[in-house]
Homo-oligomer: A and B are copies of this chain.
Amino acid sequence: MGHLPQRNAYVTPLLTDYYEIMMAYSYFKCGRSDDRAVFEVFFRSNPFRGEYTIFAGLEEVLKYVQSFKLSKEDIAYVRTIVPSHIEDAFFEYLSEIDCSRVRIRAMLEGSICFPREPLMIIEGPLGVCQLLESTVLNLLNFPSLMATNACRFRMAAGPDKILVEAGLRQAQGPDGAVSASRYAYIGGFDFTSNITAANLYDIPLNGSFSHAFVSSFSGIEDLTAESTTIEGTDILPIALRYRNQLNKDSNIGELAAFVCYAVSFPQNFVALVDTYDTLRSGIPNFLAVALTLEQVGKRAVGIRLDSGDIAYLSRCARQMFAKTASAFNKPELATALKICASNNINEDVINSLNEQGHEVDIFLVGTHLVTCQKQPSLGMVYKLTELNNKPRMKLSQDIGKLTIPGNKEVYRLIGKDDVPLLDMIIRKGETAPLANRRILAQHPFDGKKRVFVTPKIAIPLLTLVWSGSRDDGESVDGIRIKMPSLEKLRAFRDAQVSIMREDHLRSLNATPYKVSVSTSLYTFLHDLWNRVVPIPELS
């Protein structure tokens, strides 16, 4: 629970929208900076036309909240951007504020979550809580979107496939990439290609070589004795012999590249096989080198397909592996060799490959994963729900777009077969749903949609994660949870997803999971609505 390093230098109180400062000044001006506010973070619909979302980014938010303090330089800069009439007292106020009077409850990082339920509730002085808005959303929106996207890839690929994130070159700048790696791992990927991300977050690395590497070799004249010898054995003549047996017309530059790479990484030989011709050159050359490695007691890992018809090519490759394994009396090779696919892989491609039948063991995913091409934004919002103990709601002619007012709790009600039945939002202070007690769950807006539930367990979903001061008023460090390792976050996410009914997780036309409100919250919401929304008049 000590002070965690703030890793990204951009994450300061000034990583915010200008209007937050302007509002903070207006609150200050009318003496309301210390009004007791309750803000709530939620989203209105699941991304990727799916029916679930993974909540992520909490650790970054807590580090930000912990370090929230405007420096002298920050304040000097703010002075330059606001109108000159603004009083010194406001800058003094800015220099004093921090999150010591803020309390935050949130879902745990890696939780499965659903539209309209509070993911994070921030309580504290109006001015400070307002200033946190943009940054908190920045630190939650993309991470949650990424983790959800990664989780969907994992669901599509199934538990046994290996997933490698390789999105550095397409991500939104350096830390778009670094955070993509982090949240892809939480979401269910196994490896990253990004060394900085691996270094920061201890994610396993994966990689082999590119087309440039292959095309940099014209022939065996590009090899030196040094680059063809494994533990004293010159493997080049062996590889050439196998090549002549497999396909003597394969590209010789490609073979040289494979030999050089296999000598460099005899335990990690994954060959990119599509530089010249996958079936006629790449795979025969790979097999020549794989058989060669066997002779010196090493085992090749496999091939990477980066173009063409992945379903077809992967099946051909598997057949060629089997044929060669049998011809050269190395039966283990038929199944041991892995096939990696890396060309424009997305969730739909994986689903389609599954339908066609394929032999891919490893998916290497870049663009579609890190840019979340299918839907590149999540749309979490940060809304005021209570002020000085009075409920606040953002109204809308469209009842579906309004904010559910008041301070809240959320429970996940688990059924007798340990499967979540629905989530229920209740008013803070109201009696929590109890195990084995029948309770009415209502749709927040549609009075006709109601259901009785008798949960086996009712799990509160919001945990106190930050409290700047103890209840006795003494200030403490603030972070109230032990930050789990990335490995634990990943396992928690996996556990959260795997207890859900499968039809909620389907890629296409999934069943929406119910998010309900208690009768008390339902009545509260609709009474308030009827009281404050004027009935329009037609004339």
Contacts and interface: CB of A to CB of B under 8 A. Distances in A.
A207 to B, nearest CB: 3
A420 to B, nearest CB: 29
Contacts of A205: 18, 81
A354 interface: no
A138 B178 CA distance: 11
Contacts of A10: 8, 174-175, 178, 196
Contact of A195 (B9, B21, B172, B267): B21
A48 interface: no
Interface in A202-232: 205-213, 215-216, 218, 222-224, 226-227
Given A264-B22, A377-B170, A387-B216, A196 B12 contact: yes
B207 A397 contact: no
B166 A172 contact: no
Interface stretch (A113-121, A367-375, A457-465, A490-498): A367-375
Most buried by B among A8, A176, A226: A176
Contacts of A179: 172-173
Interface in A231-285: 249, 260-261, 263-268, 275-277, 280
A205 B175 CA distance: 23
A293 interface: no
Nearest to A405: B215
B174 A138 contact: yes
A224 B29 CA distance: 8
Contact of A26 (B18, B23, B133, B260): B260
A177 interface: yes
A199 interface: yes
Nearest to A13: B195
B11 A174 contact: yes
B18 A207 contact: yes
Contact of A18 (B27, B135, B193, B370): B193
A174 B8 contact: yes
Interface in A522-539: 534, 536
Contact of A31 (B206, B226, B534): B226
16 contacts: A14-B199, A15-B177, A17-B194, A22-B207, A31-B226, A83-B268, A134-B168, A137-B170, A138-B171, A169-B380, A171-B176, A172-B179, A173-B175, A212-B382, A216-B387, A373-B377
Interface of A: 8-12, 14-23, 25-27, 29-32, 35, 37, 39, 77-78, 81, 83, 85, 126, 130, 133-135, 137-139, 141-143, 166, 168-180, 193-196, 198-199, 205-213, 215-216, 218, 222-224, 226-227, 249, 260-261, 263-268, 275-277, 280, 307, 367, 370-373, 376-380, 382-384, 387, 390, 392-397, 401, 534, 536
